[in-house]
Structure 1
Amino acid sequence: MDKFLLQQQVLERLAEDLLQAEQGARTAHETATHEENIAENKYDTLGLEASYLATGQARRAEAIRQAIANWRQFRPRAYDASQGIQIGALVCLVDADDRQQQLFLGPDGGSMKLVSGAQTVQVISSEAPLCRAMLGKCEGDEVTLQVAPGRQQFEVLWVD
């Protein structure tokens, strides 16, 4: 699996998300400033609510722009067993039920699923608890993640 192709897919998905966020911000701004939405009394809050939405969408768009910049600068490196798993690694984990999952560890803007060939790859950011739990681990190591109802345990099957 080519990590550079996965990186391009992430950039494409982030670009799509940015277009949607920008369109949402424009629409909310137009609604907030439209003459029909001028408040006539203290209970008429449509314009105010739309302005809050526009502000939120603008912040989201800025966060996506930052994620795009980070992914453009990002250079995934080959796995080095002496350093263990690092950001940029493609990792296959297996759980106690023999379910496998492939993860691509990126700088941010994660939480998306990509398809590469017949494989599904989950992109996770460096801030994700699972990513932090994997850092420094090697093939064959156990990864433990504390979640609300209990603990999840995985084995690192392979790393690229």
Structure 2
Amino acid sequence: MDKFLLRQRVLDQLADDLLQAEQAARVAHETATHEENVAENKYDTLGLEAAYLATGQARRAEAIRQAMAQWRQFQPRPYDPGKGIQLGALVCLVDADGVEQQLFLGPEGGSMKLLSGAQRVQVISSEAPLCKAVLGKCEGDEVLMQVAAVRQQFEVLGVQ
């Protein structure tokens, strides 16, 4: 699986997300500033609510822009068994039930699911608990993770 192609697919998805967030911010701003939404009394809050929504969407768009900048600079490197799993690794994990999953570890802001051919790849950011749990591990290592009251156990099947 080509990690640079996966990186480009993450950037494409982030670009789509950015367009949607910018459009939502524009619509909310237009609603907030429309003459029909001027408050007639203190209980008439449609314009105010739309303004809050526009602000939130604008912040979301800015977060996506920052994530895109990080992903543009991100250069996945080949796996080095001496260093263990690092950002940029493509990792195959298997859980206690024998269910396999493919993970692509990247910088912040890229958490999403992608299809690569017929294979599903979960892109996880450096801040995700699972990413932190697998960093430094090697093929054959066990990965333990506690999420709330649930303990999860995985084995690293392969790394690229």
Quick check: TM above 0.5? yes
The corresponding residue for 1:55 is 55
The corresponding residue for 2:145 is 145
Q: Which amino acid aligns with 1:30?
A: E
Q: Which amino acid aligns with 2:104?
A: F
Is the aligned partner of 1:114 residue 2:111? no
- Aligned-residue Cα RMSD (Å) equals 0.6
User: SS at 2:138's partner residue?
Assistant: coil
Off by >4 Å, runs of 4+ in structure 1: none
Question: Counterparts of 1:66-105 in structure 2 under 5 Å?
Answer: 66-105=66-105
Question: Between the two proteins, what is the percent identity of the paired residues?
Answer: 81
TM-score, normalised relative to structure 1: 0.99
Structure 1: which 5+ residue stretches go unaligned?
none
User: SS at 2:71's partner residue?
Assistant: helix
1:125-151 Cα shifts (integer Å, max 9, x gaps): 000000000010000000011011220
User: SS at 1:17's partner residue?
Assistant: helix
TM-score, normalised relative to structure 2: 0.99
User: SS at 2:101's partner residue?
Assistant: strand
1:15-57 Cα shifts (integer Å, max 9, x gaps): 0000000000000000000000000000000000000000000
Q: Which amino acid aligns with 1:32?
A: A
Equivalenced residues, count: 160
Contact 2:143 2:155 in 1 (8 A): yes
- Alignment partners' CA distance in 2, 1:33 and 1:53: 12
Structure 1 position 71, deviation (Å): 0.4
Contact 2:106 2:126 in 1 (8 A): yes
Structure 2: which 5+ residue stretches go unaligned?
none
Contact 2:86 2:136 in 1 (8 A): yes
- Alignment partners' CA distance in 2, 1:96 and 1:110: 27
- Alignment partners' CA distance in 2, 1:2 and 1:128: 22
